């Protein structure tokens, strides 16, 4: 305790009458707490007596006891002020003082308490100063607070701590640098948890957090703000570009798969960004970034929050209501995009893609309404409708041509349908209603349908195979490269995701991925399709690499049923001529 000095003339304590001193001493020794008698003589505070517990408290156990001494010679500092004020007015002044950090002894924390005492014989006003060691309490409280602010799994600050940090920066009167809040969502995390167990999920989060750390710059703060959600407060020097650059660094870091108990898992994330503009509070800023994440999920790239986007949330809501109505009133339509046999150039099949033209808003993209349908459960009705419509169209085409056409129609099945509907029953209904055999139908499923509930997926897939339909794994390469599932399930086709196809001509990694998927398919006895072929170069490259079929704007966009049939006829004629 800095307030007590040990170099004071002995004379002062000697000046006290012996009996008086002894009674002080007896009083102190009887006290179970660390205590001392302090008096104010002139300008100086003097220590008249102390008990052994006091000596231990300020010097540590076994240390030499302090001399009976003056308190710091000028009586300055918080302890001096505290005692002085009390001695001047014992009834009016504070009698308790918690020493602040650095004022305690070593790393211990004391609370000082004062009680009035009789004056010394020379009239010096005196009081009893006791020290209460609060170290344990203070530590416990600090630990608790630290716990409250820390995520125990990753050791990172949690959401509470994160918003506190944002607040601190927001309050700074002159901000030399601006800041942005990034919210990062680990996509499909609950499925990893469900399929691989929560321990694996935890491991993934820890590794994820470590990777995020390596994307930080000095002055950035990383926090785990939710189960599968992280936040970063980024200092901006060049404005929004810095935030987008941080997002790009993070995505780059995630391009390497994670290793989890023997499996390599590709983890994707969605990143939402909100810029600090000094007007919103920390909570609001954070929520804006969370809102931007939702949008990022839809558009598939980091998204900056723009004010007024709450209006979009309402739009989403009204989409749900209106989509319900559109399904009931048959206002949706299926378009058909050809899949071309890359060797022969003939039409191998068509993928049925839902289209919705809203009476007032015009066309609404499936990228927007399919997620709404999935969240609201409307996808079950939509899926049944699409299945039925696709089979019906095929029957209409057959009738128009007067023969059974030699291609298939592919219908997309959402993971929600696999999880909640009797899809095999629904496919069978459509086949019966329109007399279409299973071998003319292809079903496109995503890896997420498997990961959610592998044993259910196995049953559903087998039920679909029993109907003689073809099963294609859609968006392959973007989900979980779990070979175990692929081998077990009766999958016929791997459909290479368009993100790899698109980048093939510029990015060697994408070429490597496409090659790897093609050789994997070969090893597993599956055929391959590539989507998103936008140029003749891509078509020829993919064909050279051994990819069986492909679809994309280079061949045709999704077309209304009639146009699709016309496309088939024209293409057949053209191919025949070439032969
Ligand atoms: P998807 O199954 O991966 O469908 C392929 C998407 O790529 C389609 O987008 C298609 O129009 C687009 N596409 C095709 N060729 C190219 C190309 O060369 N370049 C580019 N940039 N894009 C190309 P669309 O029609 O917007 O559908 C988006 C997604 O919505 C589909 O992705 C599918 O997951 C979902 N979807 C569409 N219709 C249905 C449906 O009836 N049921 C279900 N469950 N999902 C559907
Ligand atoms: Ca598809
Ligand atoms: Ca796809």
What does the pLDDT profile of the chain (579 residues) look like in tens digits? 433 333 333 333 333 444 455 577 888 888 888 888 888 888 788 888 888 888 888 776 665 555 555 555 445 678 888 999 999 999 999 999 888 776 766 778 888 999 998 888 888 899 999 988 888 877 777 777 777 788 888 999 988 889 889 888 777 654 545 889 999 999 988 888 888 888 889 999 999 999 999 988 888 999 999 989 999 999 888 888 889 999 999 999 888 899 887 788 888 999 999 998 766 788 889 999 999 999 899 888 999 998 766 666 666 777 888 999 998 888 899 999 999 999 999 999 999 999 998 888 888 889 889 988 988 889 999 999 999 999 999 999 999 999 999 999 999 999 999 999 999 999 999 999 999 999 999 999 988 888 778 889 999 999 999 999 999 999 887 665 456 677 788 999 999 989 889 888 887 777 887 888 898 888 889 999 999 999 999 999 999 999 999 999 999 999 999 999 999 999 988 888 877
- Among 332, 339, 355, 366, the mutation site with the greatest number of ligand 1 atoms within 8 A of its Cβ is 366
Domain count of the fold of the chain = 3
Q: How many helices (H) and strands (E) does the chain have?
A: 22, 22
Distance, in Å, from the CA atom of 347 to the CA atom of 89, rounded to the nearest integer, reads 100
Beta carbon of 421 within 6 Å of any ligand 1 atom: no
155 and 101 in a common domain: no
Cβ(370) to ligand 1 under 6 A? yes
Dist. CA 498 → ligand 3 center (Å): 7
Supply the CATH number for residue 159's domain: 3.30.70.270
Ligand 3 centroid–CA 347 distance in Å is 18
| Dist. CA 388 → ligand 2 center (Å) | 17
Instruction: Point out the ligand 1 atom lying closest to the alpha carbon of residue 335.
Output: 25
Answer yes or no: is the C-beta of 452 below 6 A from any ligand 1 atom. no
Residue 162 shares a structural domain with residue 235: yes
Please name which ligand lies nearest the alpha carbon of 300: 1
Residues 394 and 465 in one domain: yes
Q: Can you tell me which atom of ligand 1 is nearest the CA of 417?
A: 44
Ligand 1 contacts CB of residue 529 (under 6 A) = no
Q: Which ligand minimizes its atom distance to the CA of 444?
A: 2
What's the DSSP call for residue 80? Answer: H
Q: In terms of domains, do 532 and 428 share one? A: yes
In a domain, 471, yes or no: yes
Question: Which residue has a Cα nearest atom 41 of ligand 1?
Answer: 354
Task: Please check whether residue 456 lies inside any domain of the structure.
Answer: yes
Is 399 found in the same domain as 334? yes
Query: b/e map of 27-43 (b: 16 or more CB within 10 Å)?
Result: ebeeeeebbbbbbbbee
Distance 365 CA to ligand 1 centre (A): 9
Helix %, strand %, coil % of the chain (to 5): 45, 25, 30
534 ligand 1 Cβ < 6 A:
yes
Q: Could you say which of 110, 139, 168 is where a domain stops? A: 139
255, 283, 307 — which closes off a domain? Answer: 307
Query: Which residue, among 371, 247, 232, has the nearest Cα to 302 in the 3D structure?
Result: 247
Pocket lining: 317 vs ligand 1, CB cutoff 6 Å: no
State whether 134 and 218 are in the same domain: no
**Structural domain that includes position 183:** 149-307
Q: Is the pTM of this model over 0.85?
A: no
- Please report whether residue 336 resides in a domain: yes
Domain boundary pick from 139, 161, 186? 139
50 and 131 belong to one structural domain: yes
Do the beta carbons of residue 485 and residue 191 sit within 8 Å?
A: no
């Amino acid at each position: 305790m800095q307030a007590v000095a040990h170099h004071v003339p002995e004379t002062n304590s000697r000046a006290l009458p012996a009996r008086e001193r002894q009674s002080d001493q007896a009083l102190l020794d009887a006290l179970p707490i660390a205590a001392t008698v302090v008096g104010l003589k002139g300008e100086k505070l003097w220590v008249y007596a102390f008990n052994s517990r006091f000596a231990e408290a300020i010097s540590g156990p076994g240390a030499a006891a302090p001399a009976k001494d003056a308190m710091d010679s000028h009586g300055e500092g918080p302890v001096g002020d505290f005692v002085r004020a009390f001695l001047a007015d014992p009834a009016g002044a504070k009698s308790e003082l918690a020493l602040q950090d650095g004022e305690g002894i070593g790393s211990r924390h004391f609370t000082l308490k004062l009680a009035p005492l009789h004056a010394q014989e020379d009239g010096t006003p005196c009081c009893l100063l006791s020290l209460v060691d609060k170290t344990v309490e203070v530590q416990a409280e600090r630990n608790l607070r630290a716990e409250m602010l820390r995520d125990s799994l990753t050791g990172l600050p949690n959401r509470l701590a994160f918003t506190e940090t944002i607040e601190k920066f927001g309050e700074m009167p002159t901000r030399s640098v601006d800041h942005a809040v990034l919210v990062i969502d680990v996509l499909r995390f609950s499925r990893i948890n469900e399929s691989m167990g929560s321990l694996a999920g935890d491991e993934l989060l820890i590794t994820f957090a470590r990777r995020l750390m390596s994307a930080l710059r000095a002055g950035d703060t990383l926090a785990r703000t939710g189960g599968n959600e992280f936040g970063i407060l980024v200092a901006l020097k060049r404005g929004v570009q810095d935030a987008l650059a941080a997002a790009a660094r993070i995505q780059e870091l995630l391009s390497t798969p994670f290793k989890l108990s023997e499996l390599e898992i590709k983890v994707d994330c969605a990143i939402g960004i909100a810029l600090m503009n000094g007007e919103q509070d920390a909570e609001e800023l954070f929520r804006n970034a969370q809102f931007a994440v939702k949008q990022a999920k839809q558009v598939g790239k980091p998204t900056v929050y723009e004010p007024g986007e709450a209006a979009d949330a309402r739009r989403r809501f009204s989409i749900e209501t209106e989509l319900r109505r559109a399904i009931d009133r048959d206002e949706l339509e299926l378009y058909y995009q050809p899949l071309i046999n890359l060797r022969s150039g003939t039409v191998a099949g068509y993928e049925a893609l839902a289209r919705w033209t809203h009476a007032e808003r015009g066309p609404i993209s499936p990228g927007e309404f399919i997620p709404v349908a999935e969240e609201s459960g409307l996808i079950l009705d939509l899926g049944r409708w699409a299945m039925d419509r696709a089979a019906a169209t095929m029957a209409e085409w057959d009738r128009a041509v007067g023969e059974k056409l030699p291609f298939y129609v592919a219908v997309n099945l959402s993971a929600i349908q696999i999880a909640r509907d009797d899809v095999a029953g629904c496919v069978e209904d459509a086949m019966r209603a329109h007399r279409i055999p299973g071998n003319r139908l292809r079903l496109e499923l995503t890896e997420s349908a498997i990961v959610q509930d592998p044993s259910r997926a196995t049953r559903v897939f087998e039920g679909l195979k029993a109907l003689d339909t073809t099963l294609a794994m859609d968006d392959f390469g973007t989900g979980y490269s779990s070979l175990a599932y692929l081998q077990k399930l009766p999958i016929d086709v791997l459909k290479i995701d368009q993100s790899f196809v698109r980048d093939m001509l510029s990015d060697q990694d994408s070429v490597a991925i496409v090659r790897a998927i093609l050789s994997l398919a070969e090893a597993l006895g599956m055929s391959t399709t590539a989507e998103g072929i936008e140029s003749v170069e891509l078509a020829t490259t993919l064909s050279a690499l051994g990819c069986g079929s492909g679809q994309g704007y280079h061949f045709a966009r999704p077309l209304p049923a009639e146009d699709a049939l016309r496309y088939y006829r024209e293409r057949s004629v053209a191919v025949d001529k070439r032969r």
